[in-house]
A = this chain, B = another copy of it.
Amino acid sequence: MIHKDHPRYESLRLRAKIVDAYKNGILADSGMIAHGRGEAFDYLLGEQSTENAKLAVEAAAAALLLAEHPIISVNGNTAALVPDKIVELSNELDIPIEINLFYRTSDRVLKIEKLLRDHGAKTVLGTDHEKKALIKGLEGPRSSSSAEGIYKADVVLVPLEDGDRAEALVKNGKLLITIDLNPLSRTAKTSSITIVDNIVRAIPNLIDTVINLSQTDKVTLHQIISNFDNKENIQSSLKKISKKYTGEDL
């Protein structure tokens, strides 16, 4: 039990979720370690959503609302931390979720599918027994995607994606929205819209923004996207983190 008055309560609560998910077979070994990397970068961000993150969320919501075939890609860490919020976003937008694992095993896919369905998910793709199509520019099992899901999608929301796959998805013409705490990562730099934030804050913010913009006309949504400059937004995040390093007295 973690006490609510512990100064690191929220961080420890998330860590406990990750450890449970690992023990339940939802996470690979590397998922535990990846969570630690996220803890470090979130600490440097001050563990709060920045103005830059909010701007990126707004552009992401507009892109998802305008998309013809949008999809939400989910990996083990996302399923472990925010299964309820991913399903809520999926249902709010009425778009499918695709399970997309770096270290894919049938067992983990089944467990994540069950977790999402238990939270009320309607369409879960990326399971074993469906038609697959290969994403150009990738090799091996990582090149496979659901023919009706990521392969067909024009806009892909993919939290915590690796660099190779992010690059390939962009090269294949997708508008890629990522959520990544490391603004220097290849995924952050490659994506069309990069939300530099923790998924536990970014997904709820995205749900709120999708609801707020749901009645907005297409011209305005297009304007939101064209006013958003991803490179500039990332640079601004970098400056904020850099201040954490040099602005504090020791």
Contacts and interface: CB of A to CB of B under 8 A. Distances in A.
A223 interface: no
Nearest to A34: B36
B15 A245 contact: no
A244 B41 CA distance: 14
A211 B49 CA distance: 49
A245 B238 contact: yes
- Assembly of this chain: how many copies? 2
Nearest to A189: B250
Interface string A48-84: 0000000000000000000000000000000000000
Contacts of A33: 15, 18-19, 32-33, 35-36, 39
A246 B242 contact: yes
A183, A231, A234, A246 — most chain B CB neighbours (10 Å): A246
Interface string A1-44: 00000000000000100110010000001101111111111000
A184 B37 CA distance: 16
Contacts of A250: 189, 231, 234-235
A182 to B, nearest CB: 7
A93 interface: no
A129 interface: no
B40 A32 contact: no
A28 to B, nearest CB: 10
A95 interface: no
A248 interface: yes
A34 B36 CA distance: 6
Closest 5 CB pairs of A and B: A36-B36, A40-B40, A33-B36, A32-B32, A242-B245
Interface of A: 15, 18-19, 22, 29-30, 32-41, 182-184, 189, 231, 234-235, 238-239, 241-242, 244-246, 248, 250
Given A37-B40, A242-B246, 8 more contacts: A15-B30, A29-B32, A34-B36, A36-B38, A37-B37, A40-B41, A231-B250, A241-B245
6 contacts: A22-B29, A36-B37, A37-B40, A40-B41, A40-B182, A239-B246
